[in-house]
Amino acid sequence: MLIVTSIGTDARTRAALRTCMHHKRFGELREGVWMRPDNLDLDLESDVAARVRMLTARDEAPADLAGQLWDLSGWTEAGHRLLGDMAAATDMPGRFVVAAAMVRHLLTDPMLPAELLPADWPGAGLRAAYHDFATAMAKRRDATQLLEVT
């Protein structure tokens, strides 16, 4: 848990802190109180570390708390929709567009431990689908380079 301890910061500084916390996969319980399970290495920039206090806490209902901090059902629905879109894409440009959307979506994955995720969490499926797409793109690139060289 991180508690923002600095006061009197301008809007730009507060927005930068909020962006940093989202990138570090924290969820905001209330203004100035950011939480996440201790399953990821946390490396805060020095300017952020100077404005927060790190605490360790234990919740009696961690799955309920995770549901408050992140929209897990919304993330799950969007992830399954992207998997369906990728399966339905018939050409490489269409798959490229879906793959870009997958990357944007994966950047918002809270990266929670399995015991806090819904049973139908699509995170691993999205990563696998993106990996398959990236592999296919690399093969196309390599085949094109071979044609250009010969």
CA trace torsion 51, 13, 58, 111 (10° rounding): -130
Residue 6 has a pLDDT of 84
What is the DSSP track for 3-65?
Answer: EE---S--HHHHHHHHHHHHHTT-EEEETTEEE--S-S-----HHHHTTEEE-----SSHHHH
How many Å separate Cα 50 from the centre of its chain? Answer: 25
Segment 66-111, tens digit of pLDDT: 999 999 999 999 999 999 999 999 999 999 999 999 999 999 999 9
Eight-class DSSP state of 97: H
What amino acid is encoded at 69 in this protein? L
Instruction: Name the phi and psi angles at 3, rounded to 5.
Output: -115, 125
What are the structural domain ranges in the chain? 2-58, 70-149
CA distance 130 to 124: 10
In terms of Cα–Cα distance, which of 37, 36, 27, 32 is closest to 53?
32
Residue 46 has a pLDDT of 92
The tokens for 32 are 């100035």
Instruction: Name the phi and psi angles at 48, rounded to 5.
Output: -75, -45
CB-facing half-sphere around the CA of 131: CA atoms within 13 A: 6
Residue 147 has a pLDDT of 58
- pTM here is 0.87
Q: Which fold has domain 2-58?
A: Alpha-Beta Plaits (3.30.70)
Q: Which fold has domain 70-149?
A: Methane Monooxygenase Hydroxylase; Chain G, domain 1 (1.20.58)
